[in-house]
Homo-oligomer: A and B are copies of this chain.
Amino acid sequence: MGLTKTEIFTETQNELAQIAKLFAHPARIAILQHLIAVNACICGDLVDEIGLAQPTISQHLKELRKMGLIKGEVDGTRVCYCIDKIQWKNRVDAFKAFLDQDLNLGQECC
C-alpha cells in the first residue's frame, strides 16, 4: 500500500490537506515569502535567492501554480511570477476557517 485513500475522506478534508501540502515544504514557504516581499520576480531570482537548482525551483513553482496560489506571466525569455491574490485569499480563507475552529477552551478534556 502507501496510497492515500482519498475516497474515504470528505471533499473538505481532501481539499484542506491539499492546500496544506503546498505549505508543507520549506522551499515553497521560501518562494511564497519572497514573492510576497518583492511583489513579483522571475524564476532565476528565486534560484539565486533560495539556492536550489533551477529545475527544482521550477517544479515547486509548477505545484504552486497548479493549485492557483501563484501565477506566471511570460515576458520574453523570462517568466514573471507573483501571488495570485484572489486565489490566495480563497484558499487561505478556507484553511483559516479550519484553524480557527472553536476548541471549547473552557472545557477540560482528559
Which A residues have a C-beta under 8 Å from some C-beta of B? 4-6, 8-10, 13-14, 16-17, 20-30, 33, 36, 39-40, 50-52, 71-73, 75, 80-83, 85, 88, 92, 95-96, 98-105, 107, 109-110
Residues of chain B with a CB closer than 8 A to A82's CB: 109-110
A23 touches B30 (CB 8 A): no
* A60 CA / B92 CA spacing, docked (Å): 24
Say which residue of B17, B104, B105 sits within 8 Å of A24 (CB atoms).
B17
Distance between Cα atoms of A57 and B101 in the complex (Å)? 22
Cα distance A103–B89 when bound, in Å? 10
Q: Which residues of B contact A72 (CB under 8 A)?
A: 110
